[in-house]
Amino acid sequence: QVQLVESGGGLVQAGGSLRLSCAASGRTFSSYVMGWFRQAPGKERGFVAAIRSNDNTYYADSVKGRFTISRDNAKNTVYLQMNSLKPEDTAVYYCAATSTTYYSDRYYQDPAHFRSWGQGTQVTVSS
């Protein structure tokens, strides 16, 4: 399994931006599918975005056009650039990794399909 450490969370006003980072251990980072999920109080953990090893990306409808996932394989790091933040984006954001490749992008929207998880970073958006 790969070990993941998130950073970059914080408090921001509505309309602002944050960039989350997730640093991964291991020599095979470039082959992993990386994902970002979030969990608000009292809610289940939900899909935000994912990026394949070929840089194909997928987003939840709620963040399309506002969030961008990217990766830097030389730094073993995946990023989530979050713009035009809304109070409903408030949650703990988790980075996740899986070595499983599957043809359907919907496969990566299920947190159960990711083996490795970071500890999470809090994002709070004030109105």
Q: Is the pLDDT of residue 85 over 90?
A: yes
Give 91 or 103, the one with higher predicted confidence: 91
Q: Given this model, what pLDDT does residue 102 score?
A: 87
Q: What share of the chain is helix, strand, coil (3-state, %, to 5)?
A: 15, 45, 40
pLDDT tens profile 97-126: 999 988 888 999 999 999 999 999 999 999
pLDDT tens profile 33-60: 999 999 999 999 999 999 999 999 999 9
pLDDT tens profile 16-39: 999 999 999 977 899 999 999 999
Nearest-angstrom CA–CA distance, 52 and 71 = 9
